[in-house]
Amino acid sequence: MLTSGEIRLAKSIFGDSIHYHKVWIHHGSYLPFDLQDKNTAMSPNGELYFRAWYSNDFSLTNMSNQHLFIHEMSHVWQRERGMNVIFRGLVSWVVSYRYKLGRHALRCYPMEQQAQIIADYFVLKTYGYQAWKMLRARGDVTLDGDISETEIRQQYQKAMQFFPWN
């Protein structure tokens, strides 16, 4: 089950739009015979599966791990909205997690880009622009383009305008 801290963390971005009491975090592979890569997190069935990046409480971890937690919780949120995350996840290794803002609302982006936008926005909202820039330099934040802080904030606001929808 999620800890009370993890629920608070997730609620800071998803509000009450997720059935948090149904979400479990597993320390192990979703795939049989430990076929899930140790550096890959998965959330195919409304539960989260971590190997190397597992934490007993993601609310107490560093910003990068919280970014990953929110990304995976985005897949839980997508699944609860009816998205077939198992099928789409099968091809996620060939899709780009990179995205550009400014043209579309969140719902117009593919599954992995939606999850990235939500997680990247979480970092900007929670930790601020300097922290967001640091994760971007490391490759965790995947926004394409060289735009100003003001523009970035405006474009995230536009993309996230009706989020989270029920």
Active site residues: 72
Tell me if residue 31 falls in helix, strand or coil.
coil
DSSP state of 160: T
Print burial letters for 104-125: b (CB count within 10 Å at least 16), e (below 16).
Answer: eebeebebbbbbbbbbbbbbbe
The radius of gyration of the chain from alpha carbons, rounded to an integer in Å, stands at 15
Q: Among the residues of 24-164, which ranges form H helices?
A: 63-80, 85-90, 111-127, 129-138, 149-159
Separation of alpha carbons 43 and 137, rounded Å? 26
Phi first, then psi: give them for residue 52, nearest 5 degrees.
-65, -30
Vertex 129 angle, CA 128 and 132, to 5° = 90
